[in-house]
Amino acid sequence: MKANRISIAAAVSGLFLTAPAHAIAQPTVVELFQSQGCSDCPPANANLMALSDRADLITLSFGVTYWDRLGWKDTFASPQFTDRQWDYARAFHRQQMFTPEVVVNGRADVVGANRAELENLIRRQANDHGPQVKIDSGIVTVGEGMVQKADVWLVRYDPSIVQVPIARGENGGITLPHRNVVKALIKLGEWSGAAQTYRIPDDANKSWREAVLVQAGPGGAILAAARN
């Protein structure tokens, strides 16, 4: 698993759009892909948690499955989240994945263990030209914008800090805190540039929060985002 640990410089997946007249500042989406069985992941996880109170960020923790065979099965991991990381790997023209990995606005990534490096990437990838996104009374509204096609995703995540005792594997014997752990990733539909609404399924755990991501296809740039 040495390939999982290499430090990879930020790689940019470019998608440049002309800003519409109603352009507004967008929250920056910061996605951490990690595993409880990876001894290199706690520093990146700590950095994500430290940034999670910032109003201008949507921070999300995705548990991946490919470390599970090495002695500890991640309690939050999902094959769907591993597939999402593979989408980014393909978009960044890579043949393999690594943990930890932090992807910012779907455009660039970094290992995430270095706080200054991560915050610099967040500043560079801030998004201010996407369509307006609103979440209100179970309805998502995506305003008009200049793009041919994008996917609209609902992300449900747990905002509380959850302490997980690790019994085996590389992190065996320690307890790891987790925050903003993604619990569900649901595709609401597609968006093609015209204003459109989407209904949110009403079966969510009331203690979870929800975010909506407008993303230019699998592994593509996140054009806009909002949270409730």
Helical (H) or strand (E) element with 190:
strand 181-191
The span from the CA of 206 to the CA of 204, in Å, is: 6
- Domain ranges in the chain are 22-227
* Cβ–Cβ under 8 Å, residues 80 and 103: no
Q: For the chain, list residues with pLDDT below 70.
A: 1-25
What are the helix (H) ranges across 5-143?
Answer: 41-51, 79-91, 115-124
pLDDT at 136: 95
Six-digit token string for 11: 């790689």
pTM as predicted: 0.88
155-209: per-residue pLDDT in tens? 999 999 999 999 999 999 999 999 999 999 999 999 999 999 999 998 879 999 9
pLDDT at 166: 97
DSSP string, 172-188: TT-EEEE-SEEEEEEEE
DSSP string, 110-172: E---SHHHHHHHHHHT---SSPPEEEETTEEEE---S-S-EEEEEEEEE-S-EEEE--SSTTT
